[in-house]
Amino acid sequence: MIVRDFNKLKDTNRAVSDAQWTSVRMLLADDGMGFSFHITTLYAGSEHTFHYKHHFESVYCISGKGAITDLATGETFEITPGVMYALDQHDKHTIRADEDLVMACCFNPPVTGNEVHREDGSYAPPASAAE
């Protein structure tokens, strides 16, 4: 059994961040669960475009307020506590945080921890193969 505490990990190297977000890696690929699990905070006033071409991701809003736009359809959905979105079509999307958004995120395949967001908003596939 693995037991980890977000409040202890957020000041360690399991937390990754840039100026507009922080993500705490609660479970990564090497934990062997077949998915990874992250607590991600998007800061108020920020906007992010992501496109996980090689991953499925679900995102559940724990706290905060914002909106997500599906860039394929143009539809926008409000994000408030209790709302979940799931990128079952590897959907390219923009998230806007009106207040700090704290989100519980699951990735399949699991994130290894070595990915970087590429210019197109994607992570490389697990084997680092070409697109």
Binding site for a copy of itself (CB under 8 A): 1-7, 26-27, 31-35, 37, 39, 56, 58, 60, 62, 68, 70, 75, 77, 82-89, 91, 93, 104, 106, 108
Closest CA to 89 of 68, 70, 110, 103: 70
What is the nearest approach in angstroms of a copy of itself to the Cβ of residue 130?
Answer: 23
Pairwise CA distance, residues 43 & 40, whole Å: 10
Amino acid at 103: M
Please, what is the minimum distance in Å from the beta carbon of residue 86 to a copy of itself?
Answer: 4
Minimum distance from residue 55 beta carbon to a copy of itself (Å)? 10
- Using alpha carbons only, give the angle 21, 23, 26 rounded to the nearest 5 degrees: 170
Answer for the pair 101, 65: CB distance below 8 angstroms, yes or no: yes
Of 27 and 101, the one with the shorter C-beta distance to a copy of itself is 27
Q: Which of 110, 111, 119, 77 is nearest to 94 (CA)?
A: 77
**Considering the complex, what minimum distance in angstroms separates the CB of residue 37 from a copy of itself?**
5
Within 10 angstroms of residue 107's Cβ, the number of other Cβ atoms is 23
Q: Closer to a copy of itself at the Cβ: 13 or 19?
A: 13
Looking at the Cβ atoms of 12 and 19, the one nearer to a copy of itself is 12
Task: Tell me whether residue 3 or residue 19 sits nearer to a copy of itself (CB atom).
Answer: 3
